Amino acid sequence: MTITVIGVGLIGGSMAIGLKELGIAKKVIGVGKTTASLEKALQLKIIDEALALDEAVMQADIVYIAIPVDATVDIAIRVLDMISDKQIVVDAGSNKFTLCDAIKDHPRRKQFVASHPMWGTEFSGPEAAVSGAFSGRACVVCEKNKSSETALNTVEKLYKDLGMHIIYMSAENHDIHAAYISHISHITSFALANTVLEKEKEEDAIFEMAGGGFESTVRLAKSSPAMWAPIFMQNKENVLDVLNEHISQLRKFKASLEKENMDYLVELIENANKIKRILK
Amino acid sequence: MTITVIGVGLIGGSMAIGLKELGIAKKVIGVGKTTASLEKALQLKIIDEALALDEAVMQADIVYIAIPVDATVDIAIRVLDMISDKQIVVDAGSNKFTLCDAIKDHPRRKQFVASHPMWGTEFSGPEAAVSGAFSGRACVVCEKNKSSETALNTVEKLYKDLGMHIIYMSAENHDIHAAYISHISHITSFALANTVLEKEKEEDAIFEMAGGGFESTVRLAKSSPAMWAPIFMQNKENVLDVLNEHISQLRKFKASLEKENMDYLVELIENANKIKRILK
């Protein structure tokens, strides 16, 4: 089949690579905002051809949208407006409620699958796309009853062939969970980087001393503003809820230190250790 | 030579394993707070023998102290009180100022090397000790001028043989840097775990959805309270400085979302991206 990937970066690019390797995509057409990224994607053989949106959609069996969430809504509607009744559209956005709400009454809604493959790295652009990206991870599919059986089966098969397992959720619940397990991790990491950059002037010392702990908590701070700023803004209500709770949890640590309350400090850490239940 | 390791956990145990593998330690004697951990260390062949403190110190060429920082001060003084002029004492604690200050006038101070090998994991106890732990990492040595040349050379050679490189710092500077590159990472990670555990009741969903981002920022939240609570408390002034700055950085993200100020949000993230300069 022919897959048109709108957005040839980390997710779209890795999807293209995976589907070509599996022989599922005979041809991958790329649509991008800049000619630079399209040229890079062509050069890296991630896509076979770069076309303008209309033409690229026309030729596609499946249209895979993997662009920042604020752009996804408009593009999804434009693509749905264009397609025939044989084509399928999927998105990979990190928020699902705004999008699902925007397209809920579209006459082609059944040909759309709202998905969120739970994989990513702190890198972006076609150069960040890798083989084997999604294997072993979960893919969330939202509002599955609003997609036709054909669309759902076709899209789920793609993800499963890439080694993912499917979990179902309402768009609202997805966005709440995503705020907890992904969005807040990125905000704390950005804020931690800003803390260090603000106060710590001896960067050589940090560089020398930085062990695994620093590296792992600050790694996400390298992530792209073009991708993450729209995610936080669009999922504002949930993100603010989590952020307020997180600040209040940090204040408990602050209070325990200010009051030199060792028992309380130990209690806070022991409680945090319960995360072992959740993390593998 | 005979090495006595006081504290047979993650650091002391990994040190024992490394020095035995290199053939530097012909015999490793373990001193521990609980018989359970000593038995475990014997069973895992991390130590050759478990002895009481006095006897273990008497037999040692080098005494390696790797216990929680609040216990280190007393033990270091007790060990220094005991040793002959041929023996060397080292500690591996995550804070250096309180300790260096406490022993600064000890008659045996020159036989002591205050060090902090920059390696660790979120695990603890003898079972957490691994081979090859310190390779490629930095080891901070503080107040080097207060150690004799013999003590310094002997200890530095151990670390270098384990693949570490030495960096020198005053104890005060070490503790400031450590607050930035290690202590705050642990606090944010503990607080993030508490945030999720407090608000997110659908743990199955988190477990399913948790991708690499969550895992890496929350990994440190598994760390031991026995080790970390004393570190934070002893380095309270520096930790509170960093923690206050971190909370104020998080509030900037909060403000950008509340005011729907996309430009400001992008600016905050772009600034955080500058951490690429520091992280490899």
Domain extents for chain B? 2-170, 174-277
Q: Tell me which residue of B199, B218, B275 sits closest to A191, measured CA to CA.
A: B275
Question: How does pLDDT run across B129-186, given as a tens digit for each residue?
Answer: 999 999 999 999 999 999 999 999 999 999 999 999 999 999 999 999 999 889 999 9
Percent of chain A with pLDDT over 70: 98
pLDDT(A105) > 90: yes
The secondary structure of chain B, three-state, reads CEEEEECCCHHHHHHHHHHHHCCCCCEEEEECCCHHHHHHHHHCCCCCEECCHHHHHHHCCEEEECCCHHHHHHHHHHHHHHCCCCCEEEECCCCCHHHHHHHCCCCCHHHEEEEEECCCCCCCCHHHCCCCCCCCCEEEEECHHHCCHHHHHHHHHHHHHCCCEEEEECHHHHHHHHHHHHHHHHHHHHHHHHHHHHHCCCHHHHHHHCCHHHHHHHHHHHCCHHHHHHHHHHCHHHHHHHHHHHHHHHHHHHHHHHCCCHHHHHHHHHHHHHHHHCCC
The sign of the CA dihedral A145, A151, A156, A159 is negative
- Across residues B114-128, what is the average pLDDT? 94
Res A181: pLDDT: 86
* A121, A187, A241, best to mutate vs chain B, most B CBs in 10 Å: A187
Could you tell me which residue, B62 or A196, shows the higher pLDDT? B62
Fold designation for A2-169: Rossmann fold (3.40.50)
pLDDT band at B279 (very low <50, low <70, confident <90, very high): confident
Comparing C-alpha atoms, which of B157, B66, B170 is closest to residue B119?
A: B66
Residue range A183-237, pLDDT digits in tens: 999 999 999 999 988 876 766 777 777 766 778 788 899 999 999 999 999 999 9
Q: Which residue of B has its CA nearest to A227?
A: B266
Answer yes or no: do A209 and B257 touch at CB < 8 A.
no
Tell me if the domain spanning B2-170 has CATH number 3.40.50.720.
Answer: yes
3-state secondary structure A138-182: EEEEECHHHCCHHHHHHHHHHHHHCCCEEEEECHHHHHHHHHHHH
| SS3 assignment, position A214 | helix
Neighbours of B145 (CB within 10 A): 7
Handedness of CA A74, A78, A84, A89 (dihedral sign): negative
Of B253, B270, B275, Cβ closest to residue A187: B253
B164 phi-psi bin (left φ>0, alpha ψ -120 to 50, beta other): beta
| Residue indicated by tokens 């002037």 | A201
Q: Do residue A225 and residue B273 have CB atoms under 8 angstroms apart?
A: yes
Per residue in A254-264, pLDDT (tens digit) is 999 999 999 99
Would you say residue A43 has pLDDT above 80? yes
A40-52 average pLDDT score:
97
Q: Which of B225, B44, B60, B199 is nearest to A272 (CA)?
A: B225
Q: How confident is the model at residue B212 (pLDDT cuts 50, 70, 90)?
A: low
pTM: 0.91
Which pLDDT belongs to residue B199? 76
- Cβ–Cβ pairs < 8 A, chains A and B: 308
Q: Are B197 and A269 in contact (CB under 8 A)?
A: no
The distance of A151 to chain B (nearest Cα, Å) reads 23
pLDDT of residue B30: 98
Whether A222 sits inside 8 A of B184 (CB atoms) is no
Contact call for B209 and A241, based on CB within 8 A: no
φ/ψ of A116, rounded to 5, equals: -145, 95
The mean pLDDT value for A124-152 works out to: 96
Q: Give the pLDDT score at B211.
A: 64
Q: Is the pLDDT of residue B31 over 90?
A: yes
Structure tokens at B136: 């490629």
pLDDT in tens, B220-252: 999 999 999 999 999 999 999 999 999 999 999
Q: Do A272 and B194 touch (CB under 8 A)?
A: yes
What φ, ψ does residue B267 adopt, rounded to 5°?
-60, -40
Q: Which of A62, A194, A41 is nearest to A115 (CA)?
A: A62
Model confidence at A280, pLDDT cuts 50, 70, 90, reads low
Q: What CATH number does domain B174-277 carry, 1.10.3660.10, 3.30.1330.10, 3.40.710.10, 3.30.230.10? A: 1.10.3660.10
Q: What is the per-residue pLDDT for A204?
A: 72
Please report the pLDDT score of residue A131 as a whole number. 96
Average pLDDT, chain A: 94
Instruction: Measure CB to CB from residue B250 to each of A243, A260, A269 and give the nearest one.
Output: A243
